[in-house]
Structures are given as C-alpha cells and as structure tokens.
Amino acid sequence: MAEDLQIHKGTKEEQYQAIIPQIKWLLEGETDSIANMANVAAALKEQFGWLWVGFYMVKTDSGNIEELVLAPFQGPVACTRIKKGRGVCGSSWAAAKTLIVPDVEKFPGHIACSSLSKSEIVVPVFRNEKVVAVLDVDSDAYDQFDETDQLYLELITALLQL
C-alpha cells in the first residue's frame, strides 16, 4: 500500500471531501478496530492539524460498570478513563449524540486533559444503535467546530465497524 496521505488545502468542506475517500481506502479490508481507529486519528490529525484527535472506547471496569477508556489517538497525553455523563466525552456518550463545545471553559464539568484545548467536538460511534466509542477532537483555538465538522465526522465514524 502507498504510505502517504494526500493533504489538501481549501475550505473545511473541501478538506473533508479530500480526506474521506482516503479514509475509506485505509479502512478497506482491515477488520481490526484498533488499527482502524489509529489510522482515522492519524489521517484527521495530518489533514487538519488539530491539537488532539482520538477515540475513547466503552469498556467495563472491574466492578462491571461501563466507562470510557482511552484508545488510539494523536496529540498530547490524555486522561485514560471517563465516567458516563462526565466531561464532554461522557456527556456525548450518555446523550448518544454529537456535542460541539465552542469554549471548553464554559462547558460544565469539562475535563481538561490539556490546558491548550480551547474548543472541542465529540462524536459517538455506534454499533447496533449502541454507543461503543466516541471520537474526540480538540483545537487550541476557540470556536473551531460547527455543523460541517459534525456532518463529516459523523460520516467518518459511521465507516468504522467497531
């Protein structure tokens, strides 16, 4: 396989339209969830240069309670475990919907893994209509995410078979 991603400049929409076929190609024929999350995180990080792009997976703890656990990501080191309903990630999981946060300091209960993070979008990943993971993207600038990101990141998470 060719190693290099083709990075495109242009509007946000044009960038997503250029990266999505490459993500489809990266996922094609690979069934391993970790490998696929790793390549999606890397492709998005390379294309958009965001501060942090990665996944948290729903897993059960020793007491059989579900929580989010850090999974493949690109960016600074991050918190490893997040309870349901906590922070942006745990809230997106609990609500089973995408959350866009223009200013993380204004989100009650936001979990600051990096003090550099200023805005954030979290997109649930579904299997059989159940949330099995979330895709979390952080920017070091305020107000970086909108409905265009939601649309395309939801398309991308739908490509993942976790």
Residues contributing to the site for ligand SME (CB under 6 A): 52, 78-79, 82, 87-90, 110-111, 113, 117, 120, 136, 138
Sequence length of the chain is 162
- Go through 142-161 and write b for each residue having 16 or more CB atoms within 10 A of its CB, e for each that does not: eebbeeebbebbbebbeebe
Smallest gap, in angstroms, from Cβ of residue 40 to ligand SME?
15
**Of residues 87 and 124, the one with the C-beta less far from ligand SME:** 87
Q: Which residue's beta carbon is nearest to the bound ligand SME?
A: 87
**Of residues 22 and 144, the one with the C-beta less far from ligand SME:** 144
**Of residues 22 and 86, the one with the C-beta less far from ligand SME:** 86
Residue that the structure tokens 């501060």 belong to: 51
- Residue 137, SS3 per DSSP: strand
Number of H helices, E strands in the chain: 4, 6
Q: What does the CA dihedral 37, 136, 89, 87 come to, rounded to 10 degrees? A: 140
Contact between 43 and 22 under an 8 Å Cβ cutoff? The reply is yes
Smallest gap, in angstroms, from Cβ of residue 14 to ligand SME?
27
**Of residues 22 and 90, the one with the C-beta less far from ligand SME:** 90
Smallest gap, in angstroms, from Cβ of residue 133 to ligand SME?
13
**Of residues 15 and 90, the one with the C-beta less far from ligand SME:** 90
Residue that the structure tokens 């600038």 belong to: 141
Smallest gap, in angstroms, from Cβ of residue 87 to ligand SME?
3
Token output for 60:
């059960």
Smallest gap, in angstroms, from Cβ of residue 148 to ligand SME?
21
